[in-house]
Structure 1
Amino acid sequence: MRQVFSSQRIETVEGVAKLLTDAGIPVHISNGRSYHSKRGGQFSYTEPVKAQLQPSVWVRHADDQPRARELLRDAGLLESTRPGYASALTFNSPQDADTPPRRWVWRIRLILLALIALAAVVMWLRRPAPPPPVVPQPQEQPAPAESAPADEEEDRIRILPASGG
Structure 2
Amino acid sequence: MASNTDRLSKHFTLREMTTTSSGLLNQPASPQVLDNLRSLCSQILEPVRAHYERPVIIHSGYRSPDVNKAVGGSSASQHVKGEAVDFHVSGHSVYDLAIWISNTLDYDQLILENFLPGIPTSGWVHCSFARNNRGQDLTKFKGSKMYHPGIILKPE
TM over 0.5: no
After TM superposition, the score normalised by the length of structure 2 is: 0.29
After TM superposition, the score normalised by the length of structure 1 is: 0.28
User: Which structure shows the bigger proportion of residues in helix conformation?
Assistant: 1
The structure with the largest alpha-carbon Rg is 1
